[in-house]
Amino acid sequence: MTKKILFIIGSLRKKSFNRQLAAKCAEMLAETGDVEIKTLDYSDVPFMNQDVEAALPAAVSRVRAEVQAADALWIFTPEYNFAIPGVLKNLLDWLSRPLVPGDFSSGTAVAGKKVTFCGVGGKNATKNVRADLKKLLDFIRMEVVCGEGNGFSADAAAFQSDVLTLSDADNEILRKQAEEFLKAL
Ligand SMILES: Cc1cc2nc3c(=O)[nH]c(=O)nc-3n(C[C@H](O)[C@H](O)[C@H](O)COP(=O)(O)O)c2cc1C
């Protein structure tokens, strides 16, 4: 059966290395299994504000529905100052909230949902953001596949050209994660 996988990119920039990594990963997933892949557009989600939670903003309802419709999520994220980029953290904060505002027994869009993640960054290959993300995703009761995922370093040429080129070894690491993820679905 076709598995619906929703990609979430932790960077809003058009030429994002993480967006490029996601494109590569989509090819690998399609070569490995029967998948339908969509990328979540969450650029219009407002800042979390409990004052507006009861009359849920339309953008939050939309992203929540897209997450609920997916079998699993794959997050691709850079590291900002050793931590989770604000836009991604904001999205996950919204997704962590109960489906019925104030009713904590109503479930959330993400609890029990399978998720994996990886990231491209500088020299430390997103080590810190991935450790933080694992803690956050465990806390919001997502089912994390592949532990703290895999990290990749963009080299000087990539930073100059805005084009990410993965080594054969990196491609192999990403392919293994894609295989392990699909096996878990
Ligand atoms: C606010 C900010 C903070 C950053 N902090 C880190 C960092 O802590 N570690 C790191 O490896 N790179 C850091 N970077 C560099 C990013 O890894 C780099 O800009 C990367 O290309 C961003 O991902 P993207 O290409 O997907 O947008 C930071 C970039 C920004 C904009």
With cut-offs at 50, 70 and 90, classify the pLDDT of residue 12: very high
| Whole-number Å distance between alpha carbons of 126 and 83 | 9
Mean pLDDT of the chain: 97
Would you call 174 helix, strand, or coil by DSSP?
helix
Task: Give the pLDDT of residue 101.
Answer: 87
pLDDT reading at 60 higher than 90: yes
Sequential DSSP letters for 16-69: -HHHHHHHHHHHHHHHHS-EEEEE---TTPPPP-GGGSSS--HHHHHHHHHHHH
Which of 9, 19, 79, when mutated, tests ligand 1's pocket best, judged by the most ligand atoms within 8 Å of its CB? Answer: 79
Mutate which of 16, 25, 81 for ligand 1? The one with the most ligand atoms within 8 Å of its CB, which is 81
Q: Whose CA is nearest to atom 18 of ligand 1?
A: 121
Q: How confident is the model at residue 181 (pLDDT cuts 50, 70, 90)?
A: very high
pTM of the model: 0.97
Ligand 1 atom nearest to CA at 76: 26
Return phi, psi of residue 170, to 5°: -65, -40
Q: Which two tokens stand for residue 59?
A: 């953008």
pLDDT of residue 152: 98
Domain assignment of residue 76, given as a range? 3-184
Say what the pLDDT of residue 45 is: 98
Whether 82 is in the pocket of ligand 1, judged by its Cβ within 6 Å, is yes
For residue 72, what are the contacts with CB-CB under 8 A and spacing of at least 6? 3, 4, 5, 6, 113, 114, 115, 116, 145, 181, 185
**83-89 average pLDDT score:** 98
Nearest ligand 1 atom to the CA of 122 is 11
Kindly tell me if the per-residue pLDDT of 122 is higher than 90: yes
User: Quick check: CB of 47 below 6 Å from ligand 1?
Assistant: no
Q: Specify the amino acid at residue 72.
A: A
Is the predicted pLDDT of residue 158 greater than 90, yes or no? yes
Into how many domains does the chain fold?
1
11 lines ligand 1 (CB under 6 A): yes
Angstrom distance (rounded) from CA 11 to CA 14: 8
Do 104 and 97 contact (CB within 8 A), yes or no? no
Q: What is the mean pLDDT of residues 77-87?
A: 98
Mutational pocket test of ligand 1: of 12, 80, 82, 132, the residue with most ligand atoms within 8 Å of the beta carbon: 80
| Contact predicate 177/149, CB 8 Å | yes
Query: For residue range 24-59, what is the model confidence (pLDDT) as tens digits?
Result: 999 999 999 999 999 999 999 999 999 999 899 999
Nearest atom in ligand 1 to 18's CA: 26
The residue-averaged pLDDT of 122-139 equals 97
What's the pLDDT tens digit per position in 96-119?
Answer: 999 998 888 999 999 999 999 999
Residue 78's CATH number: 3.40.50.360
* ∠ Cα 93 114 41 (to 5°): 50
Nearest CA to ligand 1 atom 22: 78
